[in-house]
Chains A and B, each alone.
Chain A
Amino acid sequence: MKTITPYLLRFAVTITVLTIIFRYFLSYGIENQLKTIIVACSITYGLLMFISGFYFGRKDGEYLPIYDVGFRFHLTTYLIHNGISLLWIGLGFGAIHENIDTSIMIALYWGFFLLIHFIFFLWAKKNSINNLDKEDLFE
């Protein structure tokens, strides 16, 4: 079953680049205690992530309308953001004041919400055939 679509892959590449850039500026801001950089890069990152999700999500729906209530995009974001964050700090690229425990806690809290989203995904799956909405299958 094809659930890893070209647009999901393009989204994954885009947010990987965005997250690495974000991590760099965040660590730089924390290291040098520059609040403006920390706030600016966080807001920019949040906005760009939202725009990427919106754009690629819409394109993905036009390509193949997989009925997953956005779960694949959420899971991809979760894996990439937390994976890069943990590796960034784990490999020693983080600022002195950055603690890996904080990133682990973020991954755990976020994981809880991801789990709730997964339950919604399972519920939506009941109304689908091969992950496509039963009501919108034939045109």
Chain B
Amino acid sequence: MPEFAVATQNLWVTYNGLTVLEDVSLEIEAGRFVGILGPNGAGKSTLLKVILGLVRPTRGRVSVFGESPDKLRRQGEALGYLPQKPLINPHFPVSVLDVVLMGRYGRIGLGRRHRPEDVRAARRHLEMVGISHLAHRPIGEISGGEQQRVFIARALCVEPRLLILDEPMISLDACAQDDLYELVYDLKGKLRLTVLMVSHDIGGVARHVNDIVCLNRRVHVHQPPPIGRIPLESTFGCSVEYLFHGEIPHRVVKVHDE
């Protein structure tokens, strides 16, 4: 029986009476690269936050490597996370290396200083994402693609088994996107990670991932080979979108009437 990195059972999340996730049951095998697709407001980021333990489900259960997110966090096992907007204040006066070191803070412990091995770990991860030459630059003064790499290095510095990326491609040009996909794919192999990536970019995701989860409040899982036309229509219900998967473009136009 395969180990599940993430398993949810009948997961519901409601904010102020608005249902964001509806009866989501999902099992993600360890070691896979999983893309989560869905239109705006489909609950993609919410699903990630439930897995991270940032949002509590209204109903249902979630387990990460067999434990609840809370218990996992208390045991000191953090997950690697790249938030959608990782640099809130672009003038924040810290260097690239400082930012990557933040990934070690939970591990170092409250009120202690970082040790030389933490700095070594931070530098190793910077090297892994290919930007060790930027270590001493202020975080606000490097390009968007470089910043994404810094934040991936920080997520890896936690030494996670599960890496969660929320729309990592959104501000990158096509070349930088391809590079980043390749980087994540490499890292997944090297560090034996399970990777969960939320994206709008259907084409890119379809080319690079092992499994696709389509989310629009409810969930549909697709194992490649190709996503069929019919299951996608039922997932993307409310939206109108062109999907490119393999050779076949899909247009999804069905309207939800719930």
Q: Real complex partners, A and B?
A: no
- List B residues at the A interface (Cβ < 8 Å): none
